[in-house]
Structure 1
Amino acid sequence: MHNRKPPDWWQYSTSCWQQLVELLNQLQPDTAGHCANQTNWQLLRQGDTNSNYKLSLTFQDYFVQLADQAKVDQLPGGHYRSQARLASENPALSKWLPKCLLDNEEIRVSIWLYASPTVNQHFNNPDLIIELSRLLSELHHSELSLPELDMNAHLAKYYEISRANKTADPIRSQVLFEQGQKLADYFEASHCCHNDISPGNLLSGHQLFLVDWEYAALSDPLFELAGIIFNFELSELQEQELVEEYQRQSNMLVDKDKLEAMKGLYRIITELWYIGNA
């Protein structure tokens, strides 16, 4: 086995490194050793609970996601779940995900996608709205063994995170938490949801791809829609077109008042997270 000992610059667990090298040696026996060369690693972004890299080797590029064990308690289940492979093995969802090669509580490796993050302007394209609505419909009607998102507990966790920041305004956190508690009454954990559809997680290439599944849970489809509206800063027209197409594709009626409540709830949770991690 080559390079079982992590290089000096490696900041994650030894187990994580060994799993990666073992996988690469199986896929590319003559090139896996090159993963020890730091120049082959490109940091893409720091996620809420992970670090994401493009690893470029001789014959193949890979997406490598490494969990930040110090932040995994912020996830709905309180731990990093290996859910990308679970979703990729579902026949209805597999076409929307990159091929997953390794997925556990420490590390995720998949084939690199030549796709770009979606942005607000993409929602001016009716074809994207149709494709995204089809993806959402298939996801929300799928049957995955996901944890149920307890919104009251989830909200309380983010409130705790915000209060842990001693430089933040505790009154602001309290106000947000109390507002969120009222809106959480509208939330129903009824369908499989991704819960974090944002520009970095919804990728556009020859089709749409959905990545980063660690927030996936039984959740509320309108909370999912609210997250898209918030994360992509959709205009009223863009929102209207998305909601109408989603209703058509999913055969699910969108309660406009409830959607407004979910938009407020999503904004509050996001703000509490930013307060805690400022």
Structure 2
Amino acid sequence: MTSLVTVSQALELVPAFDPNEAIVDPLEGGLTNCTYRVLQGDVVFFLRLDSSYSNIVQSNRLNELFILDEAAKAGLAPEVIFSNLEFGILVTEYLPGRIWVETDLGDSENIEKLADLLRSVHSLPICGYQHDMAEIAVRYRKPLKRFSDLDTFASKCIDIIRSIRSVNMISCCHCDVVVSNLIEGNRLQLLDWEFAADCDPFFDLASVIGFHKLDNKHTDMLLTAYTGSGDGASKEKLEQQLRVYKAIYWLWLANRYALSLEGSLIDHLKESQQSVF
């Protein structure tokens, strides 16, 4: 568990920053951490600080740094400038470019770009840390015990995850491929690697398909672009990982709601529940 720090404390700890001159602007979008754009002189940095929820999610920060380094060397991710695991600080370069939006997934050329990016990610060296989706699911369920309806459905989600057999094909995966984590400058790259680990590569396809509710046409386009064929075996693997993704995503949302009681999550949680079966 990290010792949480404020922005001003973080600025004091990062050698690249001068607390008296750095201009800090909070960024929107993250649900797990606190993120900022930091202007130091004429150089822009990205700053991420752990929050109380970061400790609950228990991301493997050391593993993330290993994968980020490999991904940055391959041109797939921002370069790490500074990190402090004890205080939950990560500073990377601030990538120039445009963050994708959901409509970008409707373009066939973009689907090809995304498939190429995912193949490149899955070609990175494995890190030795593999996600145990069933163990993660059980951990997400713990705070749901006081919500009987949520806990009952959580049990069903865990059964789904446990029913999907483990695979022999494991690759380095991002595990949170959504458009808000895709940025396009000179090439398409990925942001926010905190969930990255060794995993079934089809889980990365499942995350973008499941989160953005791609229709059959665009799902087939992505699968064919990624595999080169979209054969029956690949479709079966993808369908299995879609079931895992939808179940684990609902559990993540439910966990977040149980710990925060954020009313804005209720409708999202109900919608996600309908997609699990």
Partner residue of 1:128?
110
Question: Measured at CA, do residues 103 and 131 of structure 1 come closer, stay the same or move farther in structure 2, by a change above 3 Å?
Answer: farther
Using the TM superposition, give the Cα deviation of residue 155 of structure 1 relative to its aligned residue in structure 2, in angstroms: 1.9
Residue deviations 1:54-88 (CA, integer Å, cap 9, x gap): 1233312211111125433424xx5433624x335
CA distance in 2, matches of 1:91, 1:11: 28
1:139 aligns with 2:121: yes
CA distance in 2, matches of 1:60, 1:92: 18
Question: Measured at CA, do residues 92 and 55 of structure 1 come closer, stay the same or move farther in structure 2, by a change above 3 Å?
Answer: closer
The Cα RMSD (Å) is 2.9
Amino acid at match of 2:186: H
Of 6, 19, 37, which aligns to 2:13?
Answer: 19
Using the TM superposition, give the Cα deviation of residue 194 of structure 1 relative to its aligned residue in structure 2, in angstroms: 0.8
Task: Please report the TM-score for the alignment, with normalisation by the length of structure 2.
Answer: 0.78
Question: Measured at CA, do residues 167 and 12 of structure 1 come closer, stay the same or move farther in structure 2, by a change above 3 Å?
Answer: farther
Using the TM superposition, give the Cα deviation of residue 107 of structure 1 relative to its aligned residue in structure 2, in angstroms: 1.2
Amino acid at match of 2:12: Q
Residue deviations 1:96-155 (CA, integer Å, cap 9, x gap): 212321134211112222323222321233332222222211221221424111222122
Question: Measured at CA, do residues 92 and 166 of structure 1 come closer, stay the same or move farther in structure 2, by a change above 3 Å?
Answer: closer
Question: Measured at CA, do residues 241 and 153 of structure 1 come closer, stay the same or move farther in structure 2, by a change above 3 Å?
Answer: same
Of 225, 234, 239, which aligns to 2:214?
Answer: 234
Partner SS for 1:149? coil
Answer with 167-176 or 108-117: which moved more. Answer: 167-176
CA distance in 2, matches of 1:12, 1:166: 35
Residue deviations 1:204-241 (CA, integer Å, cap 9, x gap): 23321111111111100111111111123222111111
Of 78, 85, 92, which aligns to 1:110?
Answer: 92
Partner residue of 1:49?
32
Structure 1's consecutive aligned runs of 4 or more residues displaced over 6 angstroms after TM superposition are none
Answer with 203-212 or 266-275: which moved more. Answer: 203-212
Partner residue of 2:175?
195
Partner residue of 1:34?
21
Partner SS for 2:82? strand
Partner residue of 1:155?
137
CA distance in 1, matches of 2:91, 2:120: 24
Of 245, 248, 251, which aligns to 1:272?
Answer: 251
CA distance in 1, matches of 2:89, 2:54: 14
Gaps of 5+ in 2: 258-277
Residue correspondences, number: 251
Question: Measured at CA, do residues 67 and 94 of structure 1 come closer, stay the same or move farther in structure 2, by a change above 3 Å?
Answer: farther
Higher helix share: 2
Amino acid at match of 1:255: S
Identity %: 22
Residue deviations 1:222-272 (CA, integer Å, cap 9, x gap): 1111111112322211111111010139x9985212211211110111111
Of 64, 72, 96, which aligns to 2:55?
Answer: 72
Gaps of 5+ in 1: 1-9, 26-31
